Chain A
Amino acid sequence: MSEAVALHAPAIRRDPGKFWIVPPAALLVLLFFYPLALIARQAFLDDSGVANAAEIFRVLHSRFFLNALINTVTISVAATAGCLIVGLVLALILAFVPFPGSSFIARLIDTFIALPTFLVTLAFTFLYGSAGMLNTGLMEAFSLPLPPVDFLYSTWGVVLAEVTVYTPFILRPLLAAFSLVDRGQIEAASVLGARPFRIVRQVILPAAIPALIAGGSLCLLLTVNEFGIVLFIGAKGVITLPLLIYGKAIQESAYQVACIIAVVNIALSLGLFGLYRFAAGRLGV
């Protein structure tokens, strides 16, 4: 509406203003794009500054890189699927089967976006760790000698933590989409005898698809980039690309290797970012 008004309104004088964009753009170039370009350059140079392209092939074929890549993609896809399912269930109940205080609960979940991601991992250590509440409880109840639950230090621990952290990113667009669904249509369908499951499938889900696609691709991007959760779980077998970059650069001072992996990681992230922008722009979320 306001855009349409702006199109027909007389344009505010524009000519001298074109150069105002230069200062913030220059700041971004110096502090972000220039370092990014240097990462790409450093990927071709060994740590004494001599060109060494053979190292790229060695790293890309190495076991540690391939493992990290597979881990990153597996975790990201599984966590996104989990976020979509949990987010959809929670949003459906919040929007269509509301209970007293449900809007407060929705806001509470929303504040999770502002909290540090590693908080959840730390909490999971107390809940599901080898000396955590669940294991101690089970060991006491069934007098077991060893902690029975050990999923936390595997890929699944990371996935569960990421589902907690990133579900709010699905919930937010879904609730916005659901608030636009015509309540009269749902009541008419149910008066005519449609079962809730059928209403969800035929009336509600079609309205939610854009939000699911946009939220899902945002989740893919954020989970590929996630660092704190994986670092805090600290499982030997669960290394993702960001963690590998940190390990190579800071713990081993192998900058060329770190830069090669970073180029792959950044390319993957930018691809997913493109997907998200395309989905969000196309679907008007």
Chain B
Amino acid sequence: MLVWSRPGRIVLWVLFALIFGVLFLAPLAVILLSSLADQWNGVLPNGLTTEHYTDVIRGAAWNSVKASLITGFLASALALVSGTWAALSLRLQGHALKRLLGLLFFIPSAVPSVSVGLGLLVAFSHPPLLLNGTIAIVMIAHFVLISAFTFGNVSAGLARLSPDFEQVASSLGARPAYRLWHVTLPLLAPYLVAAFGLSFALSMGELGATVMVYPPGWVTLPVSIFSLTDRGDIFAGAALTMILVAATLVLLLGLERITKRATGA
């Protein structure tokens, strides 16, 4: 305990509550409130309604939820396979090459998402690699942006893994493929699930690259929210944002439960 006097502590706690309230709590609360607001002329809404939710669900929202979930799932699954593959095979490289390649796999997380989208437009707008205007280019953009995070998470998990298990398996005569499938991957499982959850959440909220490359029939949630608020329909935008937040949180909590059950914690 750093501050012993009770008044001193209370002053600090009030300061904390103030910062936390203004910066973190107020934005979330106000989004929730506005998504339920009926008419809003004064300081507080005049009444509450679920109309915005029924409106967006009847409107394009359902298609956006579907587009976001499918994009997020496929991009995260691909990033998980590729990131795990990269992290595992990087262990087989020499020290210098390992550092260099490890750095290269991290670079996509440092490049602005808009530029990633621009690059895909420039690269894949001409035959034979004509992907502009397809759903695939959205998936690729999301995959590129989240791949570094998956790779990072899996690498961190691998670094924490005790090498004993693998060595015991190997000295008992397990072949590399058997060892990978029955020893390494099960040990890595919690990190894989966490990596998948994080990349899914990132994909659900991705805007910069998507807005550059999305085709007309594949409007993800963030793009859809932007076009609603850009048109001045901010209440519907708030309702759709709440749907996005709820979907993301349900997904993350669900994955956390799966991990806990699997590891028996």
Question: Using a CB–CB distance below 8 Å, which chain A residues touch chain B?
Answer: 2-3, 5-6, 9-10, 12-14, 17-18, 20-21, 23-25, 27-28, 31-36, 38-39, 42, 86, 89-90, 92-94, 96-97, 99, 105, 108-109, 111-112, 114-120, 122-127, 133, 136-137, 140, 163-164, 167, 186-187, 190, 196, 199-200, 204, 221, 224-225, 227-228, 231-232, 234, 241-243, 245-246, 249-250, 255, 258-259, 262, 265-266, 269-270, 272-273, 277
Q: Is B101 an interface residue (CB 8 A)?
A: yes
A27 nearest CB across to chain B (Å): 6
Contact A39/B119 with A119-B245, A164-B27, A224-B112 known, Cβ cut-off 8 Å: yes
> How distant is the Cα of A224 from the Cα of B208 in the complex, in angstroms?
13
In the complex the two chains form, is B114's CB within 8 Å of A242's CB?
yes
In the complex the two chains form, is B107's CB within 8 Å of A273's CB?
yes
Per-residue CB contact flags for chain B residues 216-237 toward chain A (1 = under 8 Å, else 0) read 0000001001100110001001
The 7 closest A-B pairs by CB, nearest first: A35-B119, A116-B205, A17-B92, A123-B27, A20-B89, A273-B110, A227-B208
**CB within 8 A of B205: which of A117, A232, A270, A272?**
A117
> How distant is the Cα of A174 from the Cα of B229 in the complex, in angstroms?
36
> How distant is the Cα of A42 from the Cα of B121 in the complex, in angstroms?
11
Q: Which B residues touch A108, using CB under 8 A?
A: 24
Residues of B in contact with A, size category:
35 or more
In the complex the two chains form, is B122's CB within 8 Å of A38's CB?
yes
Q: Which B residues touch A190, using CB under 8 A?
A: 2, 4
Q: Which B residues touch A99, using CB under 8 A?
A: 13, 16
Interface of chain A, helix or strand or loop or mixed?
A: helix
Q: Which B residues touch A259, using CB under 8 A?
A: 118, 122
| CB within 8 Å of A: which B28-48 residues | 28, 30-31, 33-34, 41-44
Q: Is B15 an interface residue (CB 8 A)?
A: yes
Q: Which A residues touch B61, using CB under 8 A?
A: none
> How distant is the Cα of A111 from the Cα of B252 in the complex, in angstroms?
10
Per-residue CB contact flags for chain B residues 190-202 toward chain A (1 = under 8 Å, else 0) read 0000000010011
Q: Is B65 an interface residue (CB 8 A)?
A: no
In the complex the two chains form, is B92's CB within 8 Å of A18's CB?
yes
In the complex the two chains form, is A97's CB within 8 Å of B12's CB?
yes
In the complex the two chains form, is B19's CB within 8 Å of A86's CB?
yes
